[in-house]
Structure 1
Amino acid sequence: MSKYTKEDIYRIVEEEDVAFIRLQFCDIFGVPKNIAIAASQLESALNNECMFDGVFVEGFSRSEESDMYLHPDLDSFDIYPWRPQSGKVARMFCNVYTSDGKPFLGDSRNVLRNVVAKAKDMGINFKVNPEPEFFLFDYDDDGQPTTKTHEKASYFDVAPADQGENVRRDIILNLEEMDFDISSSHHEIAPAQHEIDFKEADAERSADMVMTFRMAVKTIAKKHGLYATFMPKPVEGISGSGMHINILAEDNGGKNIFVNDADQELSDTAKHFIAGVLSHVKGMTLVTNPIVNSYKRLVPGYDAPVNVTWSSASANRGALIRIPAKRGGNTKIEIRNPDAICNPYLALALILAAGMEGIEKKMTPPPELSDQKGEADTLPLTLGEAIHAYKDDPFVKEVLGEPIYSKFLEAKKAEWKDFRTCVTQWEIGRYLNIF
């Protein structure tokens, strides 16, 4: 059932003195984009008549497909609480359509929507709660972001050691005004590193929430004179930032299908889901961990998964997939390798589709981490290896569709080529005085 009707939107805009509405979407890399309209143009937007030129959106379209239309999702209407409260600014997430009225195949949100629709056809309703991590750094005297911080806090520290406490508080209060259900927040393991978790929601809404979260964190941190970054590994020698993704699955009656009623242990369905994800996780890594820097986080010793493993023991945090301690209706599967910079629509689409394939085919997962003998298979070690794994798994192309698959691959190959031609300071320091 829809949350809002067109009439509701008109009424709220008038009653709340909303002056501008942002019609938001994203490119294939998860970078937010929008068309801003005045409230006087709202009727045109709600009638799906707002057009933009897709040629100028990164990886988005060919020139012959340049005219795109934005179809607002009415239920995503929200007012930005951090913007001026006189002449307020609101936003709606949009699905992208072509000029002939068809869903645009390069629209990330549409990819996730298709996966969710297939899940519903299977009688499965997925709920997701992400755990995004980020750093708060200082600006330099020229107003440029740095990787410097004056604090030395670690896990769960409080003020005055935790100098980001008030920033997190401000972020949470703003997000709660946008109907986020915040479950917890805390200082993370590295200095200046933080985590804010929100409770599970439908997969599409969760992806929208990640997009909103990243914008809110960056905007509010800047008001406090700090620079927020979701970069996976901005500082060497300390833990990087990820975005663990917790997945809960229910049948049409609201029963958790990842747990057995009799003994509260993992169900066969949960194990099939795990098997499906693990069978495709290497091919998906280019999307879940999409930049050169992602692979500086995925190294041993820094609280990030490296091997393709799973564990039903909640304390085993070395596994790529682990099962948190709560059982019964709260039984979830946690995927631990994604970055917080990934395109959340594409990452969720691939993870859920892989798990669904595991359920459909009744796949069997490998032995648990504690039972494995010999060396486990590893995730790609570099962006270059991730590119090869991506190309080697036809499943990824099947889920993403040809336009997104090819554009993503083309861009990442170019990024890897640029990096391989770059001479780093590490190389200068290591080799110049020797050779």
Structure 2
Amino acid sequence: MQGHGLANGHCCSGRCNPGGSVLHQAVNGEGEVKFVRLLWVDTSGIRRCRVVPRCKWEEVCKSGLGLATAAMALQAWADVLAPLSGLTVTGELRLMPQSHDIRQLPWHPAHAISCGELHESPGKPSSLCPRAALQRALDAALDQHGLEFQVGFETEFFLLRRDLQASQPPSLTLDGPDVVMQVGQKARRAVPEPVDMLSYCSSRALDACSQVLDDIMDALEQLGIPVVQFHAESAPGQFEIVASHGDPFMAASDLVMTRETIACIAQRHGLLASFLPKLFKDGCASGCHCHISIIKDGENLMNTRGSEHGLSDTAAAFLAGLLHHLPGLMCFTLGSVNSFERIKPSSWSGSFQVWGVQNKEATLRLCGHPGVSGSANVELKALDATANPYVALAAIITAGLQGITSGARLPPPVNVDPALLSRQERQDQGITALPANMGEALAALKADTALVAALEEVLGADLVKAVRGVRAGENDHFSKASFEEVVAEVYDRY
């Protein structure tokens, strides 16, 4: 829930990159490293990895590992190819490690880890590569408008006890050539109990999980991921970690590494960490709020003196574009049908298409630290851990650039809870609700032809089609499922 203070400038000072020494160990046979994990995130937001022995590292850096193209269209509920993704069982990608960013795992020192890129051939990024999509978006912002960004993420998650019946495998049936998971009683798995039933910022909740949280913090520090603060959140067994801001690539990679760290450390303590947005129907949900500052020539354009709310004309147009395109954009920032269970009125999740100044109910919240120069940023609430962070950031930047190109203008800020206004008051102020489910978001994206065209130009038509196909596949699969059935199938996938 806490805002980030995003400083002026386009790089984050003080960030450590342990990659050099670890890479030296991996290549030259020194130290403890025996294996290197190549980690990537697919279009359904699932973290996946391959592992190579140290002796093969140099070879893999040159030629990569073969990966089926279809791996970028697998669905979260089962490893089934999304029918509308445009991808088939033919084709291969090369999974290429990023040798400049390789980190030794504190909880498993024999293993190092590197975020992988998807290439058509070594040195030629694939049109399906999420990291390449983000780079194209950043290049477009810099080349067209001289803009750079600082980004910070909030990671919310649940800690669950593993001592229930969650280990029972789901039932599968064969339907033609594909394996289809039943949406019925036989496929249900018991969701483990949360570690506590305590409240927001409860010191008792921290004390109860102090050992696992301390180990997570120690591991993040060793991985070079600065943490601003952490606390217990409102839902049972829910916690939040706020990472420091940085350039978009480092922020996204650190976010992926943070989730991996939380999951692995929790498992070593006999717990299950779940990043699924909504685990308990009557409880609060987990998001991944994204804080963005827009930088030009070293100046934070969201902290301009003499302008309304501190926003320069460029920053205001960027936010206007982001706000205007948000209904369709949600297909790229919310990856699961469960995501929309979080986006509810009066829940601090931003369920209306509005922006506001320090308004927790605004889906775009202008915030910053009072009296701290350069800390102004905008918080986007419609983002969670079921989205690929590289793709999400690329789409967010693209939508904002559309606002600058079209000369979009921000409507007046809304600084009340829109749900408390009457229907007529909302209508008079032009306040509309955001999509309430994945089907509505897909329809909004289809109708937003300008956004689709921009996304296809910057992210690439193949990646856009794969994302849309995976979302449609999930929406179709869970079309008749209850809230509890959806949670039971995917709570341990994220």
The TM-score, its normalising length taken from structure 1, stands at 0.88
Q: Counterpart amino acid of 1:382?
A: N
Q: Cα distance, 1:206 vs. partner?
A: 1.3
Counterpart for residue 59 of structure 1: 73
Match of 2:57 among 26, 42, 57: 42
Q: Counterpart amino acid of 2:127?
A: L
Structure 1 CA distance, aligned partners of 2:45 and 2:426? 38
Does the 8 Å contact 1:239/1:303 carry over to 2? no
Does the 8 Å contact 1:28/1:343 carry over to 2? yes
**Which digits, 9 at most, give the CA deviation of each residue in 1:374-424, with x for residues without a partner?**
331111011111111122223244243221222222232222222223367
Structure 2 CA distance, aligned partners of 1:10 and 1:166? 30
Counterpart for residue 140 of structure 1: 163
Counterpart for residue 431 of structure 1: none
Q: Cα distance, 1:100 vs. partner?
A: 7.9
Residue ranges of structure 2 left out of the alignment (5+ in a row) = 1-10, 75-85, 168-189, 419-424, 486-494
Structure 2 CA distance, aligned partners of 1:246 and 1:231? 20
Counterpart for residue 378 of structure 1: 433
Residue ranges of structure 1 left out of the alignment (5+ in a row) = 427-435
Q: Counterpart amino acid of 1:230?
A: F
Structure 2 CA distance, aligned partners of 1:206 and 1:320? 21
Distance 1:63 1:217, change over 3 A: same
Counterpart for residue 105 of structure 1: 127
Structure 2 CA distance, aligned partners of 1:234 and 1:112? 30
Distance 1:260 1:101, change over 3 A: closer
Match of 1:156 among 178, 201, 205: 201
Q: Counterpart amino acid of 1:366?
A: P
Q: Cα distance, 1:139 vs. partner?
A: 1.8
Classify the secondary structure of the residue corresponding to 2:60.
Answer: helix
1:337-348 map, 5 Å? 337-348=382-393
Match of 1:281 among 318, 326, 333: 326
Structure 1 CA distance, aligned partners of 2:483 and 2:154? 32
Cα RMSD between the aligned structures?
Answer: 2.7
**More displaced 10-residue stretch of structure 1: 8-17 or 387-396:** 8-17
Which is bigger in relative contact order (C-alpha 8 A, separation at least 6)? 2
Distance 1:188 1:64, change over 3 A: closer
Match of 2:375 among 330, 354, 377: 330
1:11 equivalent in alignment to 2:24: yes
Counterpart for residue 128 of structure 1: 151
**More displaced 10-residue stretch of structure 1: 400-409 or 137-146:** 137-146
Counterpart for residue 221 of structure 1: 266
The TM-score, its normalising length taken from structure 2, stands at 0.78
Structure 1 CA distance, aligned partners of 2:208 and 2:444? 41
How many pairs does the alignment contain? 419
Does the 8 Å contact 1:124/1:249 carry over to 2? yes
Structure 2 CA distance, aligned partners of 1:251 and 1:130? 21
Match of 1:405 among 460, 464, 487: 464
Distance 1:55 1:185, change over 3 A: same
Q: Cα distance, 1:325 vs. partner?
A: 3.3
Does the 8 Å contact 1:250/1:256 carry over to 2? yes
1:28 equivalent in alignment to 2:72: no
Counterpart for residue 284 of structure 2: 239
Does the 8 Å contact 1:77/1:90 carry over to 2? yes
1:418 equivalent in alignment to 2:418: no
Distance 1:415 1:63, change over 3 A: closer
**Structure 1 vs Structure 2: percent identity of aligned residues?**
28
Q: Counterpart amino acid of 1:39?
A: R
Structure 2 CA distance, aligned partners of 1:417 and 1:119? 35
Q: Cα distance, 1:425 vs. partner?
A: 7.2
1:62-211 map, 5 Å? 62=87, 66-83=91-108, 85=109, 88-99=110-121, 102-121=124-143, 122-142=145-165, 144=167, 146-149=191-194, 151-159=196-204, 163-211=208-256
Counterpart for residue 260 of structure 1: 304
Q: Cα distance, 1:303 vs. partner?
A: 2.2
Counterpart for residue 178 of structure 2: none
**More displaced 10-residue stretch of structure 1: 185-194 or 51-60:** 51-60
Structure 2 CA distance, aligned partners of 1:160 and 1:116? 40
Q: Counterpart amino acid of 1:98?
A: E
